[in-house]
Amino acid sequence: MRRIQPRRSHAVPLILLSLAGAAAVLSLWWQNTPNVDGTAQWLTHAGRLSGLLGGYVLALVVLQMARVPALERRVGSDRVARWHALSGRYALCLIVAHVGLIIAGYAEQAGTGLVDQSVTVVMDYPDMIKAVVGTAMLVVIGLISAGMVRRRMPYEVWYYLHLFTYLAVFLTFWHQLATGAEFVGNKTAETAWYALYGTVTALVVWYRLLVPLRLNLRHRMRVEAVVPEAPGVVSVLIKGRKLHRIGAQAGQFFRWRFLAPGMRWGSHPYSLSAPPRPELLRITVKAVGGHSTGLASLEPGTRVWAEGPYGAMTAARRSRGKVLMIAGGAGITPIRALFETLPGKGSDLTLLYRARSVEDLALWNELKQIATERGARLLYAVNGPDGARPEITAERLGHLLPDIEDHDVYLCGPPGLAEHAYGALREAGVPDRRIHHESFEL
């Protein structure tokens, strides 16, 4: 199975910028490191370097949690989430290495044991007690974010424990300036470090707190109605004031919090399944967990708290006149909105909808109406009477669209379907840069 490759165009400059920051940190360490002589100095200086890099990467981890539109909309929320997870692992490894190397180096220099040296560092060095508490919190957060543990934990529990990352970073920040050889007596480096963490903090406060607060106070959203669409699938109509001014586009999603009993503590990402209207938004959700199942019982008038819009799978990604859309299961929701709104000449738009059965083709009547009005092609593939699954292969795609290599492709569905379809598309000659996909398993 060929795994979906990351988008490159908007990511490369940001990755290069991050690497330039790491190079600046390395330069700061180099300028403040004399000739290294002996085991104790090797350990200590390696500990200083890992601590500096760990502190820098930790700032990036928090930045990736800030939901900055430039990242979320241009790079994609799924990609930013993967960056966040990967950066978190790097930061945790660097911080653990920093602690171990520094303690070992100091113990070697003083001729004491590791335990005695650890007690001395914690009790005698400034801001170290806070740093120890913060580091312990980061280790715990890292452990609960590991795949095996994360999958066994309710999403809401993991989400709120994960927010303690902010407190852990705050607690570990101060000892960096108080004890770091690169900062003591170096006002330029100290100011740059304050600027780094201050900028990240400002972005988090603005985009995680103030922007959502302004959005919800301005638009005052409530549940208008809940409409069954297919077995286990419902649409939630959300009414509000001047919703078209939110700036949402077809293909994007919001993080929704429904202020109903048993649901107010959960915030989940659901895509818009129709273009935004002046006073109405719509999401269509398949029941796969406690939160999504609970949507069917929402009462009209339930207040809604939303954050967004997020996501980069929009018409702006398009680079060709012809478009193929492939949807599977609940992945039809952003594809349905795109099917209605993507500019194009009728037959240049093709939608292939994969489902278990005809009954599972949610929003099918709407899709047929859109296809008729636009002259677009609408196809579906369902399991046979014996349960056999029709596979999406390069040969079948080539037979469906002989010029498929000249198409943009929008792909949304379960991970297995998305990976198989991606491999088939690449084999059929579609360049990676024209396969537009986002995973909403955030």
Q: Tokens in use for 307? A: 């954050």
Question: CB under 8 Å, gap of 24 or more: what pairs does 96-103 form?
Answer: 96/139, 97/46, 97/47, 97/50, 97/54, 98/47, 98/48, 98/50, 98/51, 98/54, 99/47, 99/135, 100/47, 101/43, 101/44, 101/46, 101/47, 101/50, 102/43, 102/44, 102/47, 102/48, 102/51, 103/47
Which of left, alpha, beta for 386 (phi over 0: left; psi -120 to 50: alpha)?
alpha
Where are the extended beta strands (E) located within 361-429? 377-382, 407-412
Output the pLDDT for position 141: 92
**CA–CA gap between residue 437 and residue 415 (Å, rounded):** 11
Q: Tokens in use for 237? A: 């109509």
Burial of 442 (0-12, 13-18, 19+ CB in 10 A): middle
Task: Report which of 30, 75, 35 is spatially closest to residue 53, judged by C-alpha positions.
Answer: 30
ω before 309 within 30° of 0 (cis)?
yes
Residues 6+ apart with CB under 8 A from 326: 335, 351, 352, 354, 392, 409, 410, 411, 412, 413, 421
Q: Tokens in use for 214? A: 């302004």
Residue 101's H or E segment, with its range, is helix 77-110
Place of tokens 């108080």: 178
Coil/strand/helix, residue 186: coil
**CA–CA gap between residue 79 and residue 317 (Å, rounded):** 15
Cα 212 from chain centroid (whole Å): 17
Cα–Cα distances in angstroms (integers) from residue 297 to residues 236, 253, 287, 307, in the given order: 10, 21, 12, 22
Q: What is the pTM of this model?
A: 0.84
Coil/strand/helix, residue 112: coil
Burial of 410 (0-12, 13-18, 19+ CB in 10 A): buried
Cα dihedral 191, 28, 91, 16 sign = positive
| pLDDT tens over the chain, length 442 residues | 344 444 445 678 888 889 999 999 999 999 888 777 889 989 999 999 999 999 999 999 999 989 998 887 777 788 888 889 899 999 999 999 999 999 999 999 899 999 999 999 999 889 999 999 999 999 999 988 887 777 788 777 888 888 899 999 999 999 999 888 888 888 999 999 999 999 999 999 999 999 999 999 999 999 999 999 988 899 999 999 999 889 899 999 999 999 998 888 888 899 999 999 989 999 999 988 788 889 999 999 999 999 989 988 888 888 888 999 999 988 899 999 999 999 877 778 999 999 888 888 989 999 999 999 999 999 998 888 777 788 889 999 999 999 999 999 999 988 888 899 999 999 999 998 899 987 655 4
**CA–CA gap between residue 18 and residue 64 (Å, rounded):** 12
Residue 355's H or E segment, with its range, is strand 349-355
Output the pLDDT for position 199: 96
Where are the extended beta strands (E) located within 240-320? 253-258, 268-271, 280-286, 304-310
**CA–CA gap between residue 439 and residue 411 (Å, rounded):** 10
Place of tokens 């994960």: 162
Residue 351's H or E segment, with its range, is strand 349-355
* Angle subtended at Cα 403 by Cα 401 and Cα 409, rounded to the nearest 5 degrees: 70
The order of strands in the sheet holding 253-258 is 268-271, 253-258, 304-310
Coil/strand/helix, residue 59: helix
Coil/strand/helix, residue 68: coil
